[in-house]
Amino acid sequence: MGVGGYLLLPWRFLVVLSLRLLFLLPTGVPVRSGDATFPKAMDNVTVRQGESATLRCTVDNRVTRVAWLNRSTILYAGNDKWCLDPRVVLLTNTKTQYSIEIQNVDVYDEGPYTCSVQTDNHPKTSRVHLIVQVSPKIIEISSDISINEGSNISLTCIATGRPEPTVTWRHISPTAVGFMSEDEYLEIQGITRAQSGDYECSASNDVAAPVVRRVKVTVNYPPYISEAKSTGVAVGQKGTLQCEASAVPSAEFQWYKDDKRLVGGQKRVKVENRPFLSKLIFFNVSEHDYGNYTCVASNNLGHTNASITLFGETEPQEGQGGDNLW
C-alpha cells in the first residue's frame, strides 16, 4: 500500500544518476553501497505517523562532501536544501555527524534514504529504511442487526494500520469464552437465541492500543411459555394467575376464560403485563371465577398458549386473612 509506485525505476540506478548530477560521483566510478566503514548510517528508523524521524549519518573530518537523498531525490547537499518539503530540516551537525529530520512523517515517506559522502575522492553511500507505523483503525463495520432465529449472518470488520492489524471477533456474553473468529469476517449459520448479544471486533498491531467496536445482534424468536401454574384460592381471597413467556421481541399477553377474552382494568379482575410476564389478578375471588384460563403469548413470529386452572381451596392461604370463608 502506497509505497509501491516508485520502485518501477531501479532505486540504485536513480541514486547513482542523482549523485552524478551532484558531482559527488565521477562517471565511471562504481558505487559501493553499505560500506562497513563510512558513511555509517544508523539502522532502519521506525516512527509512527505524525512523529518526527531523525536520519543520522556519521562522518569524519576527511569527508569533503555530504548529502542525504530520498530515493533518487536530493534532500540536502551539505548545508544546502534541495527539496521544497518544509518538513525536511537539517539538524545542527558536528564534524562527526550529518543528520536531517523529517517532521510529521506520513506513510508515503516510508522507503530507503541514502547518506552519501565523499572521502578522499571516494564516494560512498549507505542506506537507511524509514519505516512508518500507523495505529489500527476500524474503517468499516457491520451495523447492528435484528434477525430471526435460524438465519445465517455475516459480520464484517475492516481495519487499516501499519503493520496490517490483526482483526478478531468475539461474542460478549457471560457464557461465551474466547475468540469466535480470527478474521475480518464472522459467519454464523443457523443462529440461535443464545448467540444474540454484542459482538466485539478488535483490531491490533502493537503500534497502539487495540481499537474495538461492537455490533449488537438481536435474534428474534416466537414466544415460549416457561411457566404457568394452576392456583388454588378460597372464595373472598385475592388470587393471582401468572404466565411467564420468553420471546424476542417481547410477547404480548392475552387471557381467556374458556372462549371469552378477559380485558384488564375491570372492577374485579386486573391484567398486569410486563415484558416477560403477565398476571391475572382477582381482587376478591368468587365461585364464578373458578375454571380454566388460557394465557396466550404472541409476537410477530408466532403465538403459543397455556391453560391453567383457578380452583377453590377450603382453607385460606397463609397470610391472606380468612374472614370471608363460607
Ligand X SMILES: *[C@@H]1O[C@H](CO)[C@@H](O)[C@H](O)[C@H]1NC(C)=O
Site string for ligand X, 15-44 (x = CB under 6 A): ----------------------------xx
Three-state DSSP class for residue 5: helix
Give 43 or 120: the residue with its C-beta nearer to ligand X: 43
Is residue 6 a contact point for ligand X (CB under 6 A)?
A: yes
Give 29 or 131: the residue with its C-beta nearer to ligand X: 131
Is residue 71 a contact point for ligand X (CB under 6 A)?
A: yes
Is residue 192 a contact point for ligand X (CB under 6 A)?
A: no
Is residue 237 a contact point for ligand X (CB under 6 A)?
A: no
Is residue 81 a contact point for ligand X (CB under 6 A)?
A: no
Write down the least CB distance from residue 81 to ligand X, Å: 11
Indicate which single residue of 50, 291, 302, 322 sits in contact with ligand X (rule: CB under 6 A): 291
Is residue 189 a contact point for ligand X (CB under 6 A)?
A: yes
Query: Whole-angstrom Cα distance, residue 24 to residue 121?
Result: 9
Is residue 256 a contact point for ligand X (CB under 6 A)?
A: yes
User: Per the structure block, which three cell numbers stand in for 45?
Assistant: 528508523
Is residue 224 a contact point for ligand X (CB under 6 A)?
A: no
Indicate which single residue of 305, 313, 316, 317 sits in contact with ligand X (rule: CB under 6 A): 305
Is residue 70 a contact point for ligand X (CB under 6 A)?
A: yes
Query: Whole-angstrom Cα distance, residue 47 to residue 133?
Result: 6
287 CB-contact burial (10 Å; exposed 0-12 / middle 13-18 / buried 19+): exposed
Write down the least CB distance from residue 130 to ligand X, Å: 8
The whole-angstrom distance between residue 283's C-alpha and the CA centroid of its chain comes to 53
178: left (phi > 0), else alpha (psi -120 to 50), else beta? left
87 CB-contact burial (10 Å; exposed 0-12 / middle 13-18 / buried 19+): middle
Q: Which of residues 159-188 bind ligand X (CB under 6 A)?
A: none
Report the 10 Å Cβ neighbour count for 76.
21
- Binding segment for ligand X (CB under 6 A), chosen from 165-173, 193-201, 215-223, 303-311, is 303-311
User: Per the structure block, which three cell numbers stand in for 266?
Assistant: 375491570
The whole-angstrom distance between residue 125's C-alpha and the CA centroid of its chain comes to 45
Q: CB of 246 within 8 A of CB of 223?
A: yes
Is residue 54 a contact point for ligand X (CB under 6 A)?
A: no
Query: Whole-angstrom Cα distance, residue 89 to residue 187?
Result: 51
Q: Which spans in the chain are helix H?
A: 11-21
Indicate which single residue of 198, 307, 312, 322 sits in contact with ligand X (rule: CB under 6 A): 307
User: Per the structure block, which three cell numbers stand in for 44?
Assistant: 532502519
Write down the least CB distance from residue 273 to ligand X, Å: 17
- Binding segment for ligand X (CB under 6 A), chosen from 67-75, 139-147, 218-226, 272-280, is 67-75
Is residue 292 a contact point for ligand X (CB under 6 A)?
A: yes
239 CB-contact burial (10 Å; exposed 0-12 / middle 13-18 / buried 19+): buried
Residue that has been written with the C-alpha cell 569533503 in this structure:
64
Write down the least CB distance from residue 17 to ligand X, Å: 15
Which residues lie near ligand X (CB under 6 A)? Answer: 6, 43-44, 70-71, 75, 83, 85, 88, 102, 108-109, 129, 151-152, 189, 236, 256, 284, 291-292, 294, 296, 305, 307, 309, 324
